[in-house]
Amino acid sequence: MNALTEGQRLRRPVPDAMWEALQARFGDRLSRAEAVREHHGRDESPYPAMLPDAVVFAQGTDDVAFVAGLCNAHGIPLIPYGSGSSLEGHLLAIEGGISLDLQAMNQIVSVNAEDLTATVQAGVTRKQLNENLRDTGLFFPIDPGADASLGGMAATRASGTNAVRYGTMRENVMSLTVVTADGRVIRTASRARKSSAGYDLTRVFVGSEGTLGIITEVTVRLYPQPEAVAAAVCNFDSLDAAVQCVIETIQLGVPVARVEFMDAAAVRSVNLHSKMTLRESPMLVFEFHGSPAGVQEQAGLVQDLAREHGGKDFEWAERPEDRNRLWTARHNAYFAGLQLRPGCRASTTDVCVPISRLAECVGAAAQALAAASFPSTIVGHVGDGNFHVLMLLDPDSQAEWDESERINHAIVRQAIEADGTCTGEHGVGLHKMQFMAQEHGEDALALMRSLKHAFDPNNILNPGKIVSW
Amino acid sequence: MNALTEGQRLRRPVPDAMWEALQARFGDRLSRAEAVREHHGRDESPYPAMLPDAVVFAQGTDDVAFVAGLCNAHGIPLIPYGSGSSLEGHLLAIEGGISLDLQAMNQIVSVNAEDLTATVQAGVTRKQLNENLRDTGLFFPIDPGADASLGGMAATRASGTNAVRYGTMRENVMSLTVVTADGRVIRTASRARKSSAGYDLTRVFVGSEGTLGIITEVTVRLYPQPEAVAAAVCNFDSLDAAVQCVIETIQLGVPVARVEFMDAAAVRSVNLHSKMTLRESPMLVFEFHGSPAGVQEQAGLVQDLAREHGGKDFEWAERPEDRNRLWTARHNAYFAGLQLRPGCRASTTDVCVPISRLAECVGAAAQALAAASFPSTIVGHVGDGNFHVLMLLDPDSQAEWDESERINHAIVRQAIEADGTCTGEHGVGLHKMQFMAQEHGEDALALMRSLKHAFDPNNILNPGKIVSW
């Protein structure tokens, strides 16, 4: 598919002195094996792998600082690797260099139950954290589809199905430990819930995709596990009716925890993948959190709204196991979609628009997809105005790739014209760089570039991602 | 009091060519009158005024861009002026230059009710916005004590009594129009509720106190006016009992909208200033937002918790006018405090700590203040771990100033040791710069400085604030 060829890459050769220094410190934790490099030079994007020169397996912040210092001294690219689930080519070593695998940095450093905070190493995954919290009565709500690492989630400003109630990584990261380009270790903030003490370094690094510094520890906000939880699905005759129901839910101030849209194809894929029997028409999946009385009240209000918009079969998942099954199915929508076309690679869109513009944007996308030569599904975090198109492509067909890119461009153009963004939660990586000027304007992009130059003067940190040098 | 003397100031002379260009464009809207400069060279901080060379009254973003371009070309300081209510010396023209008054930029640009957003010019105040929203069923929750401008509130990352439920300006600014140091106009983000499209320029400018760019328009999140609101006061035997009640309230997940602490002296000052008869002992003021049933449920839970901690006289302000009176009194606590000692100037602290450390930090502050030679009050946004000490000083007494600074330092030191911050919501300005290295460490401070250098290479934007050059 579409990617830089080896010939186009500006590979920077790693000097012998640097190999020796890495070998001396890391021994077995340095690998130059093809299979290991291949595994670290790809992600879930449609791009073919672009291999780093070596992989280093870090065990702590001091390892990261050591490698950063070395790469900076020699001008060698350094790409942090969490769980490899990014979707936009974030991890591709387009200029070679070192992939720094942080998966062994998987310690829960501290849980402060009174303060509703936890500090974890960057390699801890969201499921691991929630397993660990189970007995505390607390939970961490941010849930991208994959079981991503907290470091990676912070680096891509991830969110998921709970964002409408609990926010994204932007709102839920309180502080980070970061290794700078020259190997210094900083902490971006205290554990105070709010601060006006200078520039917001935390938010500078959240969403910076490894291009400004390497996140090695993350302090996040936790929430009390809700006393009562209820989930339900409801089918609609049209996308428009479903979205209108969501707009009115939000405007009424119903603190809905989740509200997800799936088109008929997405429901079908989930039925096939998870052996479910959901009705295959436009569907909303709701979840309500609160006290038992509060949940009942919220659910009643939303049921009334759904009925007004022709919603059918408000079906409750009462038992925790039914609820988990439903949400697991929703989280697996990406992989379920892939199975609609065996052997395919997926290209996903991720636009997010003001909710008043959502119906027209999803509608136009659906129309374009109906005429496409490949299958696709649409799912959306509709409470946030964020939706994903999953285009299922023959990896050997340039024609399909080109067609998907045309549709992708049209979806993004319309989203930006609607005062939205080209990416709600997946990040820029390689694939969205082409939209940055259109979305932000050249002057804002120039400011981003000056930030990159200030924080990474030798351009070693995940070079060639987000903004060109 | 403590401030730079005229002799210490690095005043940069404004060249004739610049005066001519300003005069040609602004005419009457350029003032070099002493009284106007005096008014713009001070804020609510304890510092004496430090006058700019002139004041320009801007009417639009293009005016701001013009002045920035001119100042940048001539290396002249430029200080944006909102409503003059900052507390840390933000507005003092320590190197002279131009004060840019944005108060005439007071247009509500748009209200998008379906999307729960509003875009306003920087000079619009929070009360003006809420007046304008009254008939929409929506409101904007962030409420510092003063009727500050939205531009100023964004620039200081302000918050107030509602932050425990609705967040601060950090969470509630969606996008900004900003004039850069060289006079270019950028927009930092779209109106999408979330985005992963590159570096978070919005959060870079929120809290930057006019040192990285000049905010000319602000897009904020709005919220549905709650269907039901209830407020109550409750007195406790000790600070500790009150704080413990708050910790348990937050941990239970009660979505309390406001929970404010006042010590006996603060209650007394409010009684005197607002002619109220509140019991003069440690007090919590609560507010609950939600459906009628939801509010009743929240209030019941909190009443039970308060009772367990010896809370007395849970008194309800049932009618809207009683509630408004109570909150107006609370918002006026700063001015009420000033009246405890006629002719005084106030020095305020603003530390914010993890809530588990709040009782010990407030307790130590109270102990230090009990032995002080001047009167003081303590109020706190306790749900956030943020509290303020208002020290009422004789403006002619260097001894009192020195004593207040010793207490201030001790309070900040303890807060930082408790993993908190020197300023929860007031900002750094001049007065908190001395704590930045202690709080952030030299390496993080160096990164902040490199950000300043990248965004304002000629050091014209509010120079000498937040970080030294």
Contacts of B436 in chain A (CB under 8 A): 197-198
In the 8-state DSSP scheme, what is residue A96?
-
Contacts of A188 in chain B (CB under 8 A): 444
- pLDDT by residue for chain A (469 residues), tens only, comes to 444 544 455 778 999 999 999 999 999 999 999 999 999 999 988 889 999 999 999 999 999 999 999 999 999 999 999 999 999 999 999 999 999 999 999 999 999 999 999 999 999 999 999 999 999 999 999 999 899 999 999 999 999 999 999 999 999 999 999 999 999 999 999 999 999 999 999 999 999 999 999 999 999 999 999 999 999 999 999 989 998 999 899 888 899 999 999 999 999 999 999 999 999 999 999 999 999 999 999 999 999 999 999 998 788 987 889 999 899 888 889 999 999 999 999 999 999 999 999 999 999 999 999 999 999 999 999 999 999 999 999 999 999 999 999 999 999 999 999 999 999 999 999 999 999 999 999 999 999 999 999 999 999 999 999 999 9
Q: B408-464 pLDDT, tens per residue?
A: 999 999 999 999 999 999 999 999 999 999 999 999 999 999 999 999 999 999 999
- Tell if the CB–CB gap between A196 and B157 is shorter than 8 Å: yes
Residue B10 has pLDDT above 80, yes or no: no
What pLDDT does A9 receive?
A: 58
* Calpha distance B108→B80 (Å, rounded): 19
Name the residue with higher pLDDT: B314 or B167: B167
What pLDDT does B45 receive?
A: 86
What pLDDT does B9 receive?
A: 58
Q: B173-229 pLDDT, tens per residue?
A: 999 999 999 999 999 999 999 999 999 999 999 999 999 999 999 999 999 999 999
Contacts of A184 in chain B (CB under 8 A): 443
Q: Which two tokens stand for residue B215?
A: 């905010």
The side-by-side arrangement of strands in the sheet containing A98-101 is: A30-31, A54-57, A98-101, A78-81
Residues 61-100 of A with CB under 8 A from B: none
Nearest to A237 by CA among A198, A176, A281: A281
Best residue in A110, A117, A182, A196 for a mutation probing chain B (most B CBs within 10 Å) = A196
Contacts of B420 in chain A (CB under 8 A): 190-192
Of B187, B200, B224, the CB nearest to A206: B200
What DSSP letter does each residue of B232-275 carry, written as one string? EEEE-SSHHHHHHHHHHHHHTT---SEEEEE-HHHHHHHHHHHT
| A362 near B CB under 8 A | no
What pLDDT does A1 receive?
A: 46
Which residue in A has a C-alpha nearest to residue B185's C-alpha? A443
Let me know how long chain A is: 469
Name the residue with higher pLDDT: A368 or B44: A368
C-beta separation of B344 from B394 below 8 A: yes
- In chain A, the domains with their CATH numbers are 6-104 (3.30.43.10), 108-224 (3.30.465.10), 226-427 (3.40.462.10)
ipTM for the whole complex: 0.96
DSSP alpha helices (H): ranges in B114-238? 126-133, 150-156, 163-166, 169-172, 201-205
Contacts of A180 in chain B (CB under 8 A): 443, 447
Contacts (Cβ under 8 Å, ≥6 apart) of A341? A374, A375, A392, A394
Residue for token pair 């009716």: A241
Residues 398-417 of B with CB under 8 A from A: 416
Of A193, A420, A441, the CB nearest to B384: A193
What pLDDT does A6 receive?
A: 47
* Calpha distance A392→A370 (Å, rounded): 13
- Tell if the CB–CB gap between B192 and A252 is shorter than 8 Å: no
Residue B6 has pLDDT above 50, yes or no: no
The per-residue b/e assignment along A377-387, b for 16 or more CB within 10 angstroms, e otherwise, is bbbbbbbbbbb
C-beta separation of A237 from A152 below 8 A: no
- Tell if the CB–CB gap between A227 and B253 is shorter than 8 Å: yes
User: pLDDT confidence of B7, banded at 50, 70, 90?
Assistant: very low
C-beta separation of B194 from B184 below 8 A: no
What pLDDT does A72 receive?
A: 98
- Tell if the CB–CB gap between B421 and A190 is shorter than 8 Å: yes
| A353 near B CB under 8 A | yes
Contacts of A419 in chain B (CB under 8 A): 190-192
| B353 near A CB under 8 A | yes
